[in-house]
Amino acid sequence: MPKNEIKIIEVKQNIFAENEKAADELRKHLKKEKTFMVNLMSSPGAGKTTILLRTIEMLKDEMKIGVMEADIDASIDAEKIAATGTKSIQIHTGGMCHMDAGMTREGLNELGIEDLDLVVLENVGNLVCPAEFDTGASCNVMILSVPEGDDKPLKYPLMFQVCDLVLINKIDAKSIFDFDDEAVVRRIHDRNPNTEILFISAKTGEGFNKWCDWLRNRVKEWQK
C-alpha cells in the first residue's frame, strides 16, 4: 500500500508543476483579453447552477457573460444556462474529479472569449480534488450551503485556503438546520484570513446585491 501511495505522489508532483505553468499562462491570456474568469467550486448540490442563473439575470445587461459547465456526465446544467440566452458549453471530464488548466483552456477555446467580460467555470461538485488544481482562473469562489453544516472548513481545509470568496448559500433554510454563522466565519478565517465571506440565498435573492457588487468590482479591476 505505501508503494501505491508513493507512486501517486510522484506523478502528482509532476502534474502539479506542469499545471501551474499552464495556469499562469492562461491567466495572462485572460488578462490580455480583458476577460475575468471565476472558478466556482462546491459540494454536489450546494447551489452552483441556481446561483449562476440568478447572477446572470442581474448582470446580463451590463456585461457579456459566458459559462462552462464541467460535469462527469449529463448536460442538464448547461441546458438550464443556455435557456437564459447565455453563451455556454458543457465539458464532460470523462470520470475526472476536477478541472485542470489544460482542460480549462480547451473549454475556453471552444467557448470563445473575445467578446466576453466574465466567464464562470462551474467545476465538478467536489470539495477535495478541484482545490488542488489551479485552473488558470482570475479568482476562486466556493459555495458552502447551510444544510452541509458549519464544520466543513475543519474537514476540507485546502478548499477554504485557496478561495478568494466563500458564498454561504441556502440561508433561507436556517430555520431547520443547526448552523452557527460565527463558528463558520471563525473556522474559514482560521484557514485563510484573507477570504471574504458573503451570506446569500439563491432561492430568495438575499445577499445577491453584495455578491454582484463583488463581481462588478473584480471585473472592473481586471479590465483596467
Count of residues that interact with a copy of itself, criterion CB under 8 A: 52
**What cell was used for 58?**
442581474
Task: Of 214, 132, 217, give the one whose Cα is nearest residue 165.
Answer: 214
Based on the shown chain and the rule CB under 8 A, indicate whether residue 172 belongs to the binding site for a copy of itself. yes
Based on the shown chain and the rule CB under 8 A, indicate whether residue 39 belongs to the binding site for a copy of itself. no
CB 81 within 8 A of CB 67: yes
Based on the shown chain and the rule CB under 8 A, indicate whether residue 90 belongs to the binding site for a copy of itself. no
Based on the shown chain and the rule CB under 8 A, indicate whether residue 21 belongs to the binding site for a copy of itself. no
Q: Is 201 helix (H, G, I), strand (E, B) or coil?
A: coil
Alpha carbon distance 165, 85 (integer Å): 27
Based on the shown chain and the rule CB under 8 A, indicate whether residue 44 belongs to the binding site for a copy of itself. yes
Based on the shown chain and the rule CB under 8 A, indicate whether residue 180 belongs to the binding site for a copy of itself. no
Pairing between β-strand 165-169 and β-strand 139-145 as defined by DSSP bridges: parallel
Based on the shown chain and the rule CB under 8 A, indicate whether residue 20 belongs to the binding site for a copy of itself. no
Q: Percentage helix, strand, coil, to 5, in the chain? A: 50, 20, 35
Based on the shown chain and the rule CB under 8 A, indicate whether residue 128 belongs to the binding site for a copy of itself. yes
Distance of alpha carbon 154 from the chain centroid:
20
Q: Is 119 helix (H, G, I), strand (E, B) or coil?
A: strand
* Residue placing its CB nearer to a copy of itself in the complex, 148 or 164: 148
| Radius of gyration over every alpha carbon of the chain, rounded to an integer in angstroms | 17
In the list 86, 105, 116, 218, the residue contacting a copy of itself (rule: CB under 8 A) is 105
Torsion of Cα atoms, 147 then 149 then 155 then 159, to 10°: 60
* Residue placing its CB nearer to a copy of itself in the complex, 99 or 215: 99
Based on the shown chain and the rule CB under 8 A, indicate whether residue 65 belongs to the binding site for a copy of itself. no
* Residue placing its CB nearer to a copy of itself in the complex, 105 or 218: 105
Residue type, 220: K
* Residue placing its CB nearer to a copy of itself in the complex, 61 or 73: 73
Based on the shown chain and the rule CB under 8 A, indicate whether residue 194 belongs to the binding site for a copy of itself. no
CB 92 within 8 A of CB 126: no
Q: Which of residues 149-168 bind a copy of itself (CB under 8 A)?
A: 149, 151-152, 154-158
Contacts with a copy of itself by CB under 8 A lie at 1-2, 4-5, 7-8, 11, 14-15, 18-19, 22, 43-45, 71-74, 76, 95-97, 100-103, 105-106, 124-129, 132, 145, 147-149, 151-152, 154-158, 170, 172-173, 176-177
